[in-house]
């Protein structure tokens, strides 16, 4: 739900009385009451509970029980981390893997 268009599409696709959930902070998304009032759509958002799951996931990766590489679509050396953030911001990448 990273763009205003994505939020609008989600709200418009929901049935009256339906729910739209989002995780994290909305960027450049402005929700005016008059835009959603008659949709009867419920919006629910909040932070991602990353810290709760991260230690277990890291352990599974270290033991090679899961392969996180399947979610990364761009791989860069760690000294190009700023380019990785730019790529995600410009929608040229979804997830960037930084290598030492």
Specify the 3-state DSSP secondary structure of 96.
strand
Q: Which structure tokens are listed for 65?
A: 């029980």
Whether residue 32 sits in one domain with residue 57: no
Q: How many domains does the chain have?
A: 2
- For 73, residues 6+ apart whose C-beta sits below 8 A from its C-beta are 93, 94, 95, 96
Whether residue 61 sits in one domain with residue 32: no
Q: Report the distance separating Cα 45 and Cα 48, nearest Å.
A: 9
**What tens digit of pLDDT does each residue of 12-57 get?**
999 999 999 988 877 788 888 887 888 999 999 888 888 888 999 9
- Identify the domain containing residue 8 by its residue range: 4-46
Whether residue 9 sits in one domain with residue 37: yes
Q: Report the distance separating Cα 12 and Cα 50, nearest Å.
A: 29
Q: How many residues does the chain have?
A: 100
Specify the 3-state DSSP secondary structure of 98.
strand
Whether residue 55 sits in one domain with residue 15: no
Q: Pairing state of beta strands 19-23 and 74-77?
A: unpaired
Mean pLDDT of the chain: 88
């Amino acid at each position: 739900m990273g763009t205003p268009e994505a939020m609008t599409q989600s709200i418009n696709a929901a049935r009256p009385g339906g729910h739209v959930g989002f995780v994290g902070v909305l960027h450049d998304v402005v929700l005016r009451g008059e835009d959603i009032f008659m949709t009867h759509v419920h919006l629910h958002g909040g932070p991602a509970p990353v810290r709760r799951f991260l230690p277990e996931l890291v352990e599974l990766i270290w033991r090679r029980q899961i392969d996180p590489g399947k979610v990364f679509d761009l791989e860069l050396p760690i000294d190009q981390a700023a380019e990785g953030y730019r790529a995600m911001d410009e929608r040229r990448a979804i997830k960037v893997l930084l290598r030492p």
